[in-house]
Structures are given as structure tokens and as C-alpha cells.
Amino acid sequence: MFGDTINVLHNALNLRVQRQQVISSNIANSDTPGYAPARLNFEEQLQNSISDSQVSLSSSDPEHFPIHDEAPGVQGSVSREPSLSRIGDKNNVSLDQEMQRLSENQIKYEAMTKMLRKKFSTLQSVLQK
């Protein structure tokens, strides 16, 4: 009944919250010597999981419900960007880049919550008929 939208949005929201944590620890450690900023990469994996889930089971009877096998969910992968220069304190955090990532992540999170709300309000208006 709900389709894939809610599952995909749920997964993506969780990943955005995790990315928020990663970015806040980068910002928190912007003065820690030797700290290599972490990145959480999930866009590509999420894209693949969405296109994979288009494959549906064949139904031999029109009464069969289409089965949306719940995807295990994209975990995302963490990578580090260590400083390559041999001078300074080997801290590779760029505060302005991190702030940009932070606001981008937040805006996208808001967009997703808005989409979820729209989805639910559509369902609600159907239920009230």
C-alpha cells in the first residue's frame, strides 16, 4: 500500500542523520592535531539499491500482491581524508567546507521530511473519503 517511497525516505533520513554526526565530529575536531576528516558516502549505494528494487517478482495470478522485499537498507561507507602535507599539525579539516556540507545535509534532510509529510497527508486524505 505504501510503496517504496516511505522505505527509501526512511533509509535516506537515517543516512543523513549519520552524516550529520560525521560532520559534527569533523567540526568538533577542527583543532585536533593529526585528525583526518571522515566522509560518509552513500549516494551511489542508495541509487543502486533503488534501481535494484525495480526488479519485482513475477506473478502468475492477478490476485497476487506485488511483493516489495524490504531492502536491508544502505549502510554507507566511511572514508578518511588524511592530510598529505608534511607541514603543520596534520589536521585536514576545512571548517568552511564542513559548514557547507552541514547546511547542505540539513536542507536535504528537511526536504525529505517534507516529502514524507506529503506522502502521509496524501494517504490521510484518501482515508478520509
Partner 1 sequence: MSVFQSMQISSSALQAQSTRLNTISSNLANINSTSTPEGGPYREKSVIFRTRNPQFDQQLQSSMKNPNQGVRVERIVESRDPPKEVYNPSHPQANEEGYVQKPDINMVEEMTDMQAAVRSYEANVNSIKSAQRMARQALQIGS
Q: Taking the complex as a whole, how short is the minimal distance between the CB of residue 106 and partner 1, in angstroms?
A: 5
Q: Is 123 a binder of partner 1 (CB under 8 A)? A: no
CA distances from 19 to 36, 70, 97 (A): 16, 23, 14
Binding mask 90-109 for partner 1 (x = CB under 8 A): -----x--xx--xx-xx--x
CA angle 6, 45, 71 (to 5 degrees): 45
Q: Is 7 a binder of partner 1 (CB under 8 A)? A: no
* Other beta carbons within 10 Å of 121: 10
Q: Taking the complex as a whole, how short is the minimal distance between the CB of residue 27 and partner 1, in angstroms?
A: 5
**Where do contacts with partner 1 occur on this chain (CB under 8 A)?**
13, 16-18, 20-25, 27-33, 35, 38, 40, 78, 80, 95, 98-99, 102-103, 105-106, 109-110, 113-114, 116-117, 120
